[in-house]
């Protein structure tokens, strides 16, 4: 079983199209999405439709919950709130139905899935050893996938030893006999210094993982955001991977 894993698309259709094209070349058996289809970017409805068509498993992220109306926009700050409101106001009934069906945690083929973490699948960022250990302890699977932070990560536990950190493009990991927490990084708004769209390829039988990055037309998304009147900072940061 080969699985492609994506997360944090954030209404960035150009990035999603590039990732899906790369995934098609990999020919995995399934596609999983760890949430945040919408928010920040300019193409929420197209991203919802593409993921609904392709993903066998999809979680809800905090931005999905806000845009669908379950989380108050006051929970967000500044540009994130403005963009969430913009996305909410343009959501079609079809996209609303897609988002309404999602939950922030799940599982598939013995893998535990969270948008945020096992302690708080909506809001907690797994960016520290303590948060990673807590999620691995609470999850009922030796392999855990999380999103939310927009940072590609690999964290493994062997015996009492914790190891890992950032997972740049091309990072490969043998998972046999380990407890592992992996974050594929973000499709639509990476924050790990690499502006390329990110995804993860898992081979469950072989117990292997590989972190992938894909070039996409950042200028196209920036142009669409500026034409839509979305905050300039959100457009500018795309080319920095921050």
* Predicted local confidence at residue 159, as pLDDT: 76
* Predicted local confidence at residue 160, as pLDDT: 75
* Predicted local confidence at residue 87, as pLDDT: 98
* Predicted local confidence at residue 231, as pLDDT: 97
User: Which residue, chain included where needed, has tokens 């921050």?
Assistant: 242
- Helix (H) or strand (E) holding 212, with range, is strand 208-214
Mean pLDDT, the chain cut into blocks of 10 residues (242 residues total): 98 98 96 98 98 98 97 93 97 98 97 98 96 94 97 90 92 92 98 98 96 98 98 97 94
20 by Cβ neighbours in 10 Å (0-12 / 13-18 / 19+) ranks as buried
Fold of 2-239: Purple Acid Phosphatase; chain A, domain 2 (3.60.21)
* Predicted local confidence at residue 158, as pLDDT: 78
How far apart CA 141 and CA 85 sit, in angstroms, is 36
User: Which residue, chain included where needed, has tokens 């959100």?
Assistant: 234
* Predicted local confidence at residue 90, as pLDDT: 97
The single-letter DSSP state of residue 100 is H
């Amino acid at each position: 079983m080969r699985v492609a894993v994506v997360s944090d698309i954030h209404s960035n259709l150009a990035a999603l199209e590039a990732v899906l094209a790369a995934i098609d070349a990999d020919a995995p058996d399934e596609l999983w999405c760890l949430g945040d289809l919408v928010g920040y970017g300019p193409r929420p409805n197209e991203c919802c439709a593409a993921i609904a068509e392709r993903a066998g498993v999809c979680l809800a992220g905090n931005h999905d919950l806000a845009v669908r109306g379950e989380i108050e926009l006051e929970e967000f700050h500044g540009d994130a709130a403005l963009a969430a409101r913009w996305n909410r106001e343009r959501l079609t009934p079809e996209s609303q139905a897609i988002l309404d069906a999602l939950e922030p945690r799940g599982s598939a083929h013995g893998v535990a899935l969270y948008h945020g973490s096992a302690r708080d699948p909506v809001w907690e960022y797994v960016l520290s050893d303590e948060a990673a250990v807590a999620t691995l302890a609470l999850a009922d699977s030796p392999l855990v996938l999380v999103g939310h932070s927009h940072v590609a990560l690999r964290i493994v536990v062997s015996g009492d030893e914790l190891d890992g950190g950032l997972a740049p493009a091309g990072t490969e990991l043998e998972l046999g006999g380990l407890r592992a927490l992996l974050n594929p990084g973000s499709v639509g708004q990476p924050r790990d210094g690499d502006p390329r769209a990110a995804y993860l390829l898992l081979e469950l039988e072989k117990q292997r993982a590989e972190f992938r990055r894909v070039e996409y037309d950042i200028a196209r998304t920036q142009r669409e955001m500026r034409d839509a009147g979305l905050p300039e900072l959100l457009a500018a940061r795309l080319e920095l991977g921050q």
